Amino acid sequence: MQKAPLVVIGFNGNALDALETLQSSFEIVAWLDDNPALHGRRVENAPILPMSDIAAFPDAQVVCMIGSERSYPHRHDIVARLGLPDTRFATIVDPAARVSRLCLLGHGAVVFPGVVITSNAVIGNHVMLLPQTVVHHDAVVGDYSLLGSGVVVAGSVKVGRACYIGSGSTIRNGLAIGDGSLVGMAANVLRDVAPGSVVAGNPARLLRRV
């Protein structure tokens, strides 16, 4: 059975880590990245092209893999630049992830291998959940947020829009992480995080405002 075509936004570490996840359901037909040093290369028989070439692939679904501790605040703008309707964005779940039938996954969400999402969790649009992350019951992860590897989000936590949750961090049940916040690697979050905050440590403490 022929797989549906997929255009990947961003040729970066996230995209390479997710390569087999993306290929589990799709055929990658192009990588779009505005780094001119990459243009002209082919990876897995697909060219690396400028993002402005998105119009050349009208029948392909799209996924945005851009997101790091530096670029996470810009994920919304990157997606918006494409000018595509929500239905063009693929929701991709690795076969080795465990996703409850009672959770909700948004457009453009990518769920890496080993991820566990339990009952009534809500994963927003363009969210990335990296390997071995666990999102417990009734938790919400807001649009454009990225959760690193091995993150534990306890029950009823609310992670806001466009947040970055560093690998190995844990968030206690019932807390709220405000929009645009960054939680450092291996942080242990025991209290609410105000919007636009950078926190780190065990227990997590405010380092600065974004």
Q: Return the CA Rg of the chain.
A: 17
- The b-or-e profile of 91-129 (16+ CB within 10 A means b, else e) is bbbbeebebeeebebbbbbbbbbbbbbbebbbbbbbbbb
CA proximity to 93, closest of 112, 66, 78: 112
CA angle 85, 94, 33 (to 5 degrees): 50
Diameter of the chain by CA atoms? 51
Active site residue 76: no
CA proximity to 32, closest of 20, 180, 15: 15
Question: Please, how many CA atoms are within 13 Å of residue 205, restricted to the half-sphere of its CB?
Answer: 4
Rounded Cα–Cα distance for residues 104 and 124 (Å): 8
Out of 39, 74, 76, 137, which one is annotated catalytic? 137
Give me the residue label for tokens 């997606």.
79
CA proximity to 196, closest of 181, 175, 174, 207: 181
Active-site amino acid positions: 137
